[in-house]
Amino acid sequence: MSPRVPSGDAVVTRVTGTLAEARPLRDAGLYDLVRVGPRGLLAEVIRFHQDTATLQVYEETTGLALGAEVAPTGAPLTVELGPGLLGSILDGVGRPLARLAAATGDFIAPGAAAPTLDRTRRWPIVPRVRPGDRVTAGDVIATVEEQPGFEHRVLVPPGVAGELVEVATAACTVDEPLARLADGTELRLAQRWPLRTARPIAERLPSDRPLVTGQRVLDLLFPLAEGGAVAVPGGFGTGKTVIEHGLARHASAEVVVFVGCGERGNEIAEVVQEFPKLVDPRTGRPVMERTVLVVNTSNMPVVAREASVYLGVSIAEYYRDMGYRVAVMVDSLSRWAEALRDIAARLQEMPGEEGYPTYLASRLGQLYERAGRARALGAPARTGSVSLVCAVSPPGGDFSEPVTQASLRVAGALWALDPALARKRQFPAVDWATSYSLHADATAAWLTRESGIDWSATRARVLALLRRDAELREIAGLVGHETLQDPDRATIEIARAVREHLLGQSAYDPIDAACSIAKTGAMAALAVRALDAALGALERGRAIDDLDLAAVRRAYAGVRAAPEDAIAGPVAALERAIAALGGEARS
């Protein structure tokens, strides 16, 4: 983006915090990016009143003086998309932290410019088209090995079409022309995209396969379809960040974009330090190779948070268009909404509920809408998806607040985190009574195939057991445990094993941290079998004191603790403990 020469001699006429006014600004459009003052601070035009523009400055405005020059760049806030994104750590407006720090030191200087992609790296390319071919938007013109084994597909940008007259075959940098059309248009490895706009697709597609999270409580009870969006509200310390990190490591996505949005500095620092060290257990490769981290640095004003979420989603859409399954984690969407509130307040807009702007819900809806499974534009045919997992931090854990409520209206699933469960150290603290998924039916066939158990029926049985358990424990709390009937006591015992070992999962135990669909399915089916066996034995007249339910629970814990490839022995031991109850129907 080369700054245009300011035609109108626009200068700063007012500065309040990160808002500035400039006049006369004629050479810029709404949401265009401008550079402000001698340091060239990054700012966006967010309002026009005649030739007076209100600017949202994305950097510290200390020292910005009246009369400072304002230079339009001629483009809205865009993200540069191309090879080299995977493995990078970007700030909220797309500057790579490593190269920024190399240029200006650990405390990033305001106005520092660093392009998102490395200009010097030469990428060996494999052309997929020839001179004479006609190409249209979305066609794959070349591929590049972006990371070991990861094929980056170079796409004709939206809105571009024509006949190719030249195609490079040698290695290119992101700035060199890769191909040229008859009308002179040059195609490159990289393209720019206005990040507030959704990238176009050929067609939205339904989704029948889940984003496997590796968390038993989520995959079994509240599955998220690939291309779905889920809200994860939870009060302070209920485990939102642990879930988001776990998904970034273990979810069945080919590309992960993690947006650390305005959370505490130490959490962000942890992400930046931890992620580069993580290894994907399935491939043995560093997790960072398929990850893009977007983080707000602490020296960036609140408003950059607002852009960072769009930046992350735009990158995700770009990989979706290549035909990949992408997952975006946002931690936390509440900080994004607070940034909206901040901006609206400074613009003195009419506040809506709890001070949020009246358009909060519609903005949030537009954001969630960018999740989805789609057939991409162009040839060869590709389908990809963007799944969106948004942590929400309701103040005081009160879900009736506007961000949680607006999320609930548009998300296809809710993983509600419960402080009472977190206090009891029941992690993940997903409240099975209030959480839901609208994707359970659509994903059931896939899960059944993958696990070999009847997923819907098993899921329904486990949910029913948990509901019954909650009722019984409430009754027991009121009138005493000893008043319960034997079948009810057996139900409570089995439900306890389910709560502790099927739904409970430690993020810090290397074996327990992620669980395959096969193991989740096996554990769920075994719980149902144990319940039926215990109730069957009581029906046949055995006394509850003769049933070794403790042995069943111990054996169940053994299955949970077993590594994925050594589960057969512990399963056999559990089956023996279940058979010893003496209530199983003989087939």
Distance, in Å, from the CA atom of 467 to the CA atom of 139, rounded to the nearest integer, reads 51
Distance, in Å, from the CA atom of 399 to the CA atom of 466, rounded to the nearest integer, reads 23
- Please report, as ranges, the residues that interact with Mg ion according to CB under 5 A: 240-241
Q: Which stretch binds ligand ATP (CB under 6 A): 157-165, 231-239, 340-348, 363-371?
A: 231-239
Q: Which stretch binds ligand ATP (CB under 6 A): 138-146, 199-207, 453-461, 500-508?
A: 500-508
Nearest to ligand ATP of 83, 235 (CB atom) = 235
Question: In this structure, are strands 325-331 and 70-76 parallel, antiparallel, or unpaired?
Answer: unpaired
Classified as helix, coil or strand, 11 is: strand
As measured in angstroms, the least distance from the Cβ of 242 to Mg ion is 8
Answer yes or no whether residue 237 interacts with ligand ATP by CB under 6 A. yes
Query: Please, which of residues 161-220 interact with ligand ATP by CB under 6 A?
Result: none
H/E element, 558: helix 549-561
Question: In this structure, are strands 436-437 and 291-295 parallel, antiparallel, or unpaired?
Answer: unpaired
Whether the CB-CB separation of 397 and 238 falls below 8 Å is answered with: yes
Nearest to ligand ATP of 237, 281 (CB atom) = 237
Answer yes or no whether residue 428 interacts with ligand ATP by CB under 6 A. yes
Q: Which of 145, 506, 544, 573 binds ligand ATP (CB under 6 A)?
A: 506
Nearest to ligand ATP of 166, 509 (CB atom) = 509
Q: Which of 138, 233, 234, 323 binds ligand ATP (CB under 6 A)?
A: 234
Question: In this structure, are strands 255-260 and 291-295 parallel, antiparallel, or unpaired?
Answer: parallel
As measured in angstroms, the least distance from the Cβ of 214 to Mg ion is 19
Q: Which of 105, 182, 236, 298 binds ligand ATP (CB under 6 A)?
A: 236
As measured in angstroms, the least distance from the Cβ of 334 to ligand ATP is 9
Question: What x/- string results for residues 508 through 527 when contact with ligand ATP is judged by CB under 6 A?
Answer: x-------------------
Q: Which residue is nearest to Mg ion (CB)?
A: 241
DSSP 3-state helix, strand, coil percentages of the chain (rounded to 5)? 35, 25, 40
Helix axes 486-497, 549-561, angle to 10 degrees: 20
Q: How many residues sit close enough to ligand ATP to count as binding (CB under 6 A)?
A: 15
Q: Which residues contact 92 (CB under 8 A, 6 or more apart)?
A: 58, 294, 295, 296, 297, 300, 304, 305, 307, 308, 311
Amino acid type, 138: G
Q: Which of 18, 73, 116, 393 binds ligand ATP (CB under 6 A)?
A: 393
Nearest to ligand ATP of 6, 239 (CB atom) = 239
Q: Which of 109, 507, 518, 557 binds ligand ATP (CB under 6 A)?
A: 507
Whether the CB-CB separation of 556 and 527 falls below 8 Å is answered with: yes
Whether the CB-CB separation of 44 and 55 falls below 8 Å is answered with: yes
Peptide bond into 428 cis (omega under 30): yes
As measured in angstroms, the least distance from the Cβ of 247 to ligand ATP is 11
As measured in angstroms, the least distance from the Cβ of 392 to Mg ion is 11
Q: Binding residues for ligand ATP, per CB under 6 A?
A: 234, 236-242, 393, 427-428, 505-508
